[in-house]
Amino acid sequence: MEFIKYDEGVKKQVSRFQWSSLTFLFSAAAVFFLSSGHTRTVLLAAMLVAYLILFGLGVAILRLNFFCPALCSGKKGGMQVAITFDDGPDPVATPAVLDVLAGRAIKAAFFCIGQKVAQYPDIARRIVAEGHIIANHTAHHFWWTNFLRGDGLGREINCAQKAIRETTGKIPAFFRPPAGLTNPHLAKVLSVSGLTCIGWDVRTFDTRRTKDEVVKTIAKKTRDGSIILLHDAHKSPQEATELLEKVLEVLAGNGYTVSPLEQLLELAAYQNEGTPTEAMDNNGLFSLLARWLTQTGFIRNALEDDVGPDAIRTRPSVRFLIGLTLMGISYIIGWPAVAFFTFLAAYLDKPGILVLGPASYLFSHLLFFAGMALAGQDGINYGRIILRWTSHRIALALTTRATPLERNGTDS
């Protein structure tokens, strides 16, 4: 059987997140213009709460396909299921799992953490050598991964791609987000990296449940075409062996055949070397502007002028600190003092107090200029450093925007 390649199998489409956001904005605009008073406030608040609830469910429930398409089950009709393992390779549990699978001639899919692949390359190579699928589960599996935006999320995913490719020679086409959490940036990053999001429809919570509870869950929830989620980490070899053998016995007893994930999905598990690259919004107006700006002398110079933290480690002088303090105080006693004396004159019914307002405002300016004089050359130097650092960061951002990311994940 010839499996569908990424380019043929994944089509760009408007996500449910985008549709729901547009619906919310247009509905909110209609309510704002067509209602008034308390009715408008109540309706807008109710709509906002409903949208936030939907957003939260979209983050937590992968099967909703809210932010990006996720394949959570495979084809039906053959009583086939697939077994997948997350969070490996583990030096203790993974070899035990592989031994059980080898003894029964069963192929599974391992969603591996890039950092662990680099730490335990022999186990990663064994996964591939024995015919199992190795897939992407981010570089570090940080708990805050789902809070990352496009660039940070892209680095996490592409670093894992690079580790797997350099260790095994395979470029994964399957990705599973940590804990199954998604965000609005994931779809674009996966599209650029040539990855398809893979979920599950049987979640066992095997890292914190007993063997009997896990087996009971699988027996109850498994259906024709199911993708079962297990973990090849956080277990002793004996625990991993006993659990997997019991799971396989229950599946076989219920008439299920464990098939390779790519066979169940009819989708290729790996990308070809040299897959065409795709820029992330690289033809948009902003990207065209970014490419033009990167050709200017200012941006080229700012890119070369990398000002690191060493430039500001020199301890500031006492004069500079005093000057900075006076400048700060000037803001506190400026307009606030004018307002205070105006209120005091009205409250005490003494117009003469109003004079203190302009006087304090003038005094604040004198303090400000005195602070600038004390800060002197040190203040100018620090200002230059901040300006150079800001210019360098802007140049880096523009260069990143103007340069297409590699779909095959070779750039991290």
Question: Any idea which residues carry the catalytic annotation?
Answer: 86, 231
**Would you state the structure tokens that stand for residue 256, as one six-digit string?**
């299920």
Calculate ∠ Cα 260-66-19, nearest 5°.
Answer: 140
Cβ atoms of 146 and 182 within 8 Å: the answer is: yes
Beta strands in 2-146 (DSSP E): 70-71, 80-88, 109-112, 133-136
As a whole number of angstroms, the distance between CA 73 and CA 69 comes to 12
**Alpha-carbon distance 138 to 154, whole Å?**
9
Tokens of 285: 């107006």
Q: Which residue has the tokens 């580790």?
A: 163
Rounded Cα gap, residues 82 and 153, in angstroms? 27
Instruction: List Cα–Cα distances, 168 to 35, 171, 245, 270, in angstroms.
Output: 62, 9, 27, 12
**Angstrom distances, CA of residue 68 to CA of 65, 196, 198, 228, 273:** 5, 9, 11, 20, 25
Type of residue numbered 402: A
Dist. CA 296–CA 318, nearest whole Å: 40
What are the start-end ranges of the H helices in 169-296?
Answer: 186-193, 211-221, 237-253, 261-265, 285-293
What is the C-alpha end-to-end distance of the chain, expressed in Å? 33
**Lookup result for tokens 């105006």:** 342
Gap between the Cα atoms of 186 and 214, Å rounded: 30
